[in-house]
Structure 1
Amino acid sequence: MILIADSGSSKTDWRVIHRDGKISQHRGVGFNPYYMTSEEMAIQMRHDFLVNLEDEIEQIYFYGAGCSAPDRKAEVSNALRTIFRQAKIEIDHDLAAAAHATCGHQAGMACILGTGSNSCDYDGKNIIATRPAAGYILGDEGGGCYVGRKFLIDFIHEEMPKYIREAAIERFHITQNIIQDHVYRQPFPSRYMASFCRFITENRADPYCYRLYYDSFRDFFAKHLFKYEDYRNKPANFVGSIAYYNSDILRKAAADSGINVHIIIESPIAGLTLYHHELL
């Protein structure tokens, strides 16, 4: 039996490929080795459905946020090893998940547009190039935090349509002081800024909200995809809620930028399941 995981800081999607080919699924808490020790992750995993499979799983493919550095991979592997002592365990980062889920065994560019953003150039087997992931203060172009930050800046400076500003006040009860408290003093400021994207998406028919996404996607292309060799002749694939729920704007911005968009999905877990099922 094969166990596949796509994990972020807030949730993990698990899929089990059984010996008869059937697939079962589960959603649990997220694991990020930058914020949790292997002991903490192991404790949480033992409260999850995984303990019921400890003697049956032979292979584990775990893709997760924060799983690029060898020491962080080791943290996750050690946590899984406390439950699955005999399984072969492979740990990889979320960019590899995006590439495997959307490109499969074909070459292309794989992009993440969720709370943050990231990208890679993939040759059908390996990631051959990436761009710096500068984080929510210095980067994350096109991601939810980036879009939300632009929205909040416009709110503070009253540089958005009055009716949008009034609707935001009614919906979120925000003021400049409240915004600054969340961004500068409260935990998870990137998550807070990204939380306004649902409101922006709901109003994306409005020219102001449409432009927020359109310009942010163009910024992402400029900082990421334009830097890859022969980018105009490679399909661009996207994973993440920002890309998925604003796919019409994303495709328009891409067409205007000479980018060929292929697949846009919200979560990579289904594509990862197909990818590893084909390897059986």
Structure 2
Amino acid sequence: MSIQTVDAFIEEFDYSTDYILKRLYKTEKPNAFCATFAPFINEVKEYDETVNILLQSQMKQFVEYYVLPFVKSSSDQVCITGSIAYYFKEILQESFDFFQLPTPTIIASPTDGLIEYHQQ
């Protein structure tokens, strides 16, 4: 990770190490806390190749471990909900392509999907 990225993170969030550790290990919904960094990471990936490579690697790993075991055929439709999938949908799509899977449906919020379902 570049020093430019580290400096930008500190400027944007100004969180102490103790605060981050407390939010991750001693409060409810640490995943929601981590998701608050998604917009920042989405911007940073454009100029920090290390961040971009890390994202690509982790998205491939996500698809391999959490999607592939449930996909039985190429006609199976996959729907992924959440801000991480939404912010990194291009990289996620590349990972699906890598494993020759059909394009997933990506919804930023579960509420959006429920509204759409009930409007049909």
TM-score by length of 1: 0.37
Among 224, 228, 231, the residue aligned to 2:70? 228
Task: Show CA shifts across 1:160-191 (max 9, x none).
Answer: 22211111111111232232222233443222
Matched ranges for 1:1-280 at <5 A = 160-205=1-46, 206-228=48-70, 230-266=72-108, 267-274=112-119, 277=120
Equivalent pair of 1:201/1:209 in contact (CA under 8 Å): no
- Mark the CA change 1:217 to 1:272 in structure 2 (over 3 Å): closer, same or farther: same
Equivalent pair of 1:236/1:259 in contact (CA under 8 Å): no
- Mark the CA change 1:200 to 1:260 in structure 2 (over 3 Å): closer, same or farther: same
Question: What is the alpha-carbon distance in structure 2 between the residues aligned to residue 239 and residue 179 of structure 1?
Answer: 25
Bigger radius of gyration among the two: 1
Task: Give the AA of the match of 1:269.
Answer: L
The 3-state SS of whatever aligns with 1:238 is strand
**Residue 104 of structure 1 corresponds to which residue in structure 2?**
none
Task: Give the AA of the match of 1:241.
Answer: S
Fraction of identical pairs, as percent: 22
Unaligned runs of 5+ in 1: 1-159
Select the structure with the greater relative contact order (CA < 8 A; seq sep ≥ 6).
Answer: 2
Task: Give the AA of the match of 1:190.
Answer: N
Task: Show CA shifts across 1:93-138 (max 9, x none).
Answer: xxxxxxxxxxxxxxxxxxxxxxxxxxxxxxxxxxxxxxxxxxxxxx
How far did 1:262 drift? 4.2
Question: What is the alpha-carbon distance in structure 1 between the residues aligned to residue 107 and residue 31 of structure 2?
Answer: 22
More helix by share: 2
- Mark the CA change 1:190 to 1:242 in structure 2 (over 3 Å): closer, same or farther: closer
Equivalent pair of 1:237/1:262 in contact (CA under 8 Å): yes
More strand by share: 1
Unaligned runs of 5+ in 2: none
Question: What is the alpha-carbon distance in structure 1 between the residues aligned to residue 106 and residue 29 of structure 2?
Answer: 27
Question: What is the alpha-carbon distance in structure 2 between the residues aligned to residue 265 and residue 197 of structure 1?
Answer: 15
Question: What is the alpha-carbon distance in structure 2 between the residues aligned to residue 212 and residue 176 of structure 1?
Answer: 22
The number of equivalent residue pairs is 116
Question: What is the alpha-carbon distance in structure 1 between the residues aligned to residue 25 and residue 71 of structure 2?
Answer: 38
How far did 1:257 drift? 1.9
Equivalent pair of 1:168/1:174 in contact (CA under 8 Å): no
